């Protein structure tokens, strides 16, 4: 509100044209005269390595069109990382649980385990106990700045539920042999 010599002058935005200075006589049904319409568009964006749940990435110029023919705004993409069926991620480290046979736990052995980067060899030393955690350096999540986490593999000794008569006989002799 401005006053000049006892007169009051009021300035307000035109409710019809919203201050644009033009009135659309026959607005299109899709945009209702705004010149903008919503549409679903599929775009491809690079996903940086090491992205975590809740991270955001800006796509410059990928947002809505600007007002009065101005440049488009930016699109902000929020990442939601789905849990994996085998791996559990904590930061840059990846955890995996596997079962190993009783004889491998006692005698030791080698095998392959899945990693995010394909199959990789793991060595199980003799006398491995249930719940032992093995670290596979550099097999975790990689980041764009060159850092990488580890994969940690927890082994569980598989105890067979069904045994043949011969297997039961051998297991009964086990304490006699090993004391």
**Which of the 8 DSSP states describes residue 172?**
H
Residue 19 to residue 69: CA distance in whole angstroms: 14
| pLDDT attached to residue 2 | 55
Domain ranges of the chain: 88-178
pLDDT digits (tens, 9 = 90+) for 113-129: 999 999 999 999 999 99
pLDDT band at 1 (very low <50, low <70, confident <90, very high): very low
Query: Looking at the chain, which runs of residues are DSSP E strands?
Result: 2-4, 7-9, 56-59, 75-78, 88-90, 93-101, 109-115, 118-124, 133-136, 151-158
* Residue of higher predicted confidence among 70 and 113: 113
* Residue of higher predicted confidence among 125 and 32: 125
| pLDDT attached to residue 37 | 76
pLDDT band at 62 (very low <50, low <70, confident <90, very high): confident
| pLDDT attached to residue 144 | 86
pTM of the predicted model as reported, rounded to 2 decimal places: 0.67
Q: What value does the mean pLDDT of the chain take?
A: 88
Contact of 121 with 178, CB cutoff 8 Å: no
Q: What is the pLDDT averaged over residues 18-34?
A: 76
For the chain, the first-to-last Cα distance in angstroms comes to 100
| Most confident of the following: 22-26, 41-45, 133-137 | 133-137
pLDDT at residue 178 greater than cutoff 60: yes
Determine whether domain 88-178 maps to CATH 3.30.9.10: no
């Amino acid at each position: 509100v401005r006053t000049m010599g006892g007169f009051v002058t009021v300035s307000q935005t035109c409710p019809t044209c919203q201050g644009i200075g033009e009135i659309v006589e026959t607005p299109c049904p899709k945009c209702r005269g705004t010149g903008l319409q919503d549409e679903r568009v599929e775009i491809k964006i690079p996903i940086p390595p090491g992205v975590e749940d809740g991270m955001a990435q800006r796509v410059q110029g990928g947002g809505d069109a600007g007002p009065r023919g101005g440049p488009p705004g930016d699109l902000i993409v929020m990442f939601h990382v789905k849990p994996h069926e085998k791996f559990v991620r904590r930061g840059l480290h990846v955890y995996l649980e596997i079962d190993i046979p009783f004889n491998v736990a006692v005698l030791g052995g080698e095998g392959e385990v899945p990693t995010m980067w394909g199959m990789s060899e793991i060595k199980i030393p003799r006398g491995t106990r249930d719940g032992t955690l093995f670290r596979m350096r550099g097999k975790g999540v990689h980041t764009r700045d060159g850092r990488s986490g580890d994969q940690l593999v927890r082994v569980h000794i598989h105890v067979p539920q069904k045994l043949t008569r011969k297997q039961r006989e051998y297991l009964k002799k086990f304490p006699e042999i090993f004391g």
